[in-house]
Amino acid sequence: VDASPDALAALTRRAAEAGVADRVRATQGDADALAGLVEPATVDLVLCHSVLEVVDEPEPVISALVTALRPGGAASVLVAGRAAAVFGRAMNGQLDAAAALAADPHGTTGRRDTLRRRYDAADASALLTAAGLAVEEIHGVRVLADLLPAAVADGQPAALVELERALAARPPYRDLAAQLHLFARRPA
Ligand SMILES: C[S@@+](CC[C@H](N)C(=O)[O-])C[C@H]1O[C@@H](n2cnc3c(N)ncnc32)[C@H](O)[C@@H]1O
């Protein structure tokens, strides 16, 4: 489900290229209308990746997602991390933007930011919990990868993956990741 016909066209094209077109249905709609697009309480797993930071309001999206899930069904939610954005701006020399991002209640640099919000692990977890989901795991995605010089990341890819795996679930490293991945369930 996506609001953008272009995004859905890309999905359909890629599904065909991967030979799974018969298993993928692209539906145009707002994320908070998901509950009306599928039978309530029937869905095994919802992936909501890189969406909560761009929608007008995240709460109705999570609420619709919970309504769609069957009891015991799972949600995989990926959101932009706030701390990584502060570090990234600062390391690029954009100290004003880093300060704005750290101070802004939504973790943005202001109106010209491409995202409407960024999350700390606690905020993202609280959002899902408030909607009735039980958060089972939180992982950081790209704890270090975006901070390293390209020569290091490209030169030692296997070592980087190994280090990322070692750090992904461990605060405080996890909480510095570019994205936070939350795995949650609707209680059975
Ligand atoms: C960064 S992309 C992520 C796409 C995909 N989930 C992924 O992980 O590759 C964000 C997507 O959210 C879509 N989007 C933005 N607002 C939306 C809304 N209110 N309801 C549904 N989709 C929305 C955009 O069209 C865009 O395709």
Kindly give the distance from the C-alpha atom of residue 71 to the centroid of ligand 1, in angstroms, as a whole number. 25
Q: Are residues 25 and 98 in the same domain?
A: no
Residues with Cβ within 6 A of ligand 1? 2-4, 7, 30-31, 49-51, 54-55
Domain containing residue 112: 38-185
Q: Are residues 111 and 143 in the same domain?
A: yes
Into how many domains does the chain fold? 2
Q: Are residues 108 and 179 in the same domain?
A: yes
Of the chain, the percentage scoring pLDDT greater than 70 comes to 100
Atom 11 (ligand 1) nearest CA: 51
pLDDT in tens, 150-181: 999 999 999 999 999 999 999 999 999 999 99
| Mean of all residue pLDDT scores within the chain | 96
pLDDT in tens, 13-54: 999 999 999 999 999 999 998 888 889 999 999 999 999 999
Q: Are residues 100 and 22 in the same domain?
A: no
Q: Are residues 48 and 9 in the same domain?
A: no
Q: Are residues 9 and 78 in the same domain?
A: no
Q: Are residues 62 and 130 in the same domain?
A: yes
Nearest residue to 161 (alpha-carbon basis) of 138, 181, 183, 142: 142
pLDDT in tens, 53-83: 999 999 999 999 999 999 999 999 999 999 9
Read off the pTM. Answer: 0.95
Radius of gyration of the chain (CA): 18
Kindly give the distance from the C-alpha atom of residue 167 to the centroid of ligand 1, in angstroms, as a whole number. 28
